[in-house]
Amino acid sequence: MSGTEERHPLGSPPPAPIGSGSDYSRDVERARRFEPLVREGHADSLIEASLRYVIAHSAVSTVLVGYSTMDHLEYAARGIEKGPLSPAALARVAEIQRSLAGEPR
């Protein structure tokens, strides 16, 4: 959910599609559609936004975090410490999700 195809040297190779796109590049392009959350100040990065989005749902009790370094893990922990995305940010996510509906994958 970083919005970039760049991979850390210790990271695994690019995965098969993990989102709703037909390939990894398409998944990345679709992730970039959520960049307004960062530009509008709802989160510091797409990674933070995705973590905080997940914890905004009361049915979720665990968040799996992928990391290649301790800095990555600590960044994720700091993002989660900020708490769930605000209702305004969640509304923005829903708006962006609606714009993706029906697009070719």
Residue type (1 letter), 83: G
What ranges do the domains of the chain cover? 24-100
Could you read off the pLDDT tens digit of each residue along the chain, which spans 105 residues? 566 667 667 666 666 655 566 677 888 888 899 999 999 999 999 999 999 999 999 998 888 888 888 999 999 999 999 999 999 999 999 999 998 887 766
Which residues neighbour 103 within 8 Å (Cβ) at sequence distance 6 or greater?
Answer: none
- Taking alpha carbons only, the member of 50, 45, 43 closest to residue 18 is 50
Give me 91's structure tokens.
Answer: 């509304």
